[in-house]
Chain A
């Protein structure tokens, strides 16, 4: 039975195919052929081409398309303020040691007099710019330490503590800048 079922089907398909084929054979087919050239490359040379091509390819956006959220904004800001403060600390320590090599002296009187000579608005601006990273990093650091006690780890608590840190930072840096 199985063999009987197969044969007519194949015959039909063969018939169908042959009729199609005969129709096709009546129309002359013109195929334009391009000659393809190839060159032999060593694996190292092929890799070189690959590296060069990768430089021409675009990369997918990531930070630019991620939904702004207080979680990763504050996390990034914590890192950036930390790096800024560390740069300042290292600059002061190394600068005090190596400034005389370049003909400058970084004593506290020199820094204070240079800062005092600035107009009041600029002094206020600089003080705010210095106070903001310090206060934010300090308050957010406390937030991190709270998380290390396995507390305030729900989404709501993270948002709540995040906005608290932002509020405290704004108030404290303003107070410090006005001092």
Chain B
């Protein structure tokens, strides 16, 4: 075994019996204003993170890095989503058929469940259309904006429920107007 001293990355790519992908990929900027999006399906308005060719991170022989198993964001999230969805079904009619004394309480439960359902749904949409792999920090900002917006909307509905007639009350009033 001879010890080879490799002075430069170009020399390294020539010395290795592979395709020299590392030298090519090293020359393509992956961040910043010159980042090249590989396949732009959307407008690409915020600077997108350039994806490695073929989506290969590292070399072709490296295993794909998968996120660690996490029940909170995995199976528990799924179950909670379905529980909320099932719970909403009777709640859509309940405020309209309950008597005047109970209606605000039932309506509050409907609004809370609806907001949680909307939060989960919008989260899925952000994951689909503003992926972290391509948008990086913008994705995180959108997630936090969603959480903040949901909490503020919840507070708004709390005010609406106490100072006004609530969601189902508004729908009934507007429908009869």
Chain A residues near B (Cβ < 8 Å):
43-44, 47-48, 50-51, 54, 79, 82-83, 85-86, 89-90, 92-97, 107-109, 111-113, 115-116, 123, 127, 138, 141-142, 144-145, 148, 179
Cβ-defined contact, A89 with B34, below 8 A: no
Interface residue B20 (Cβ < 8 Å from any Cβ of A) = no
Q: Could you say which of B40, B85, B115, B118 has the most chain A C-beta atoms within 10 Å of its C-beta?
A: B118
A85–B154 Cα distance when bound, in Å, is 15
Cβ-defined contact, B118 with A89, below 8 A: yes
**Shortest Cβ distance from B118 into chain A, in angstroms?**
4
A24–B175 Cα distance when bound, in Å, is 92
Q: In this complex, what residue of B is CB-closest to A78? A: B121
Cβ-defined contact, B82 with A86, below 8 A: no
Cβ-defined contact, A115 with B92, below 8 A: no
Contacting residues, chain A, for B8 (C-beta < 8 A): none
Cβ-defined contact, A108 with B153, below 8 A: no
Q: List residues 31-53 of chain B with CB under 8 A from any CB of chain A.
A: 34, 36-37, 40
Number of residue pairs spanning A and B whose beta carbons lie under 8 angstroms apart: 93
Q: In this complex, what residue of B is CB-closest to A44? A: B34
Q: In this complex, what residue of A is CB-closest to B24? A: A43
Cβ-defined contact, A48 with B34, below 8 A: yes
Q: A51-B34, A112-B174, A145-B86 are in contact. Are A86 and B118 (CB under 8 A)?
A: yes
A171–B7 Cα distance when bound, in Å, is 76
A35–B152 Cα distance when bound, in Å, is 68
B residues contacting the other copy or chain, number (CB 8 A)? 38
Q: A92-B160, A93-B160, A108-B170 are in contact. Are A127 and B175 (CB under 8 A)?
A: yes
Q: A92-B160, A108-B169 are in contact. Are A47 and B29 (CB under 8 A)?
A: yes
> B122, B125, B167, B174: which contacts A115 (Cβ < 8 A)?
B174
Cβ-defined contact, A93 with B157, below 8 A: yes
Q: A44-B29, A89-B118, A141-B85 are in contact. Are A83 and B167 (CB under 8 A)?
A: no
Interface residue B77 (Cβ < 8 Å from any Cβ of A) = no
A82–B125 Cα distance when bound, in Å, is 10
> A79, A97, A138: which contacts B152 (Cβ < 8 A)?
A97
A16–B121 Cα distance when bound, in Å, is 76
**Could you show 22 A-B contacts with beta carbons less than 8 Å apart?**
A44-B34, A47-B29, A48-B34, A51-B34, A86-B118, A86-B122, A90-B118, A96-B156, A96-B157, A96-B159, A97-B155, A107-B164, A108-B164, A108-B165, A108-B173, A108-B174, A111-B173, A112-B177, A113-B177, A116-B177, A127-B175, A138-B92
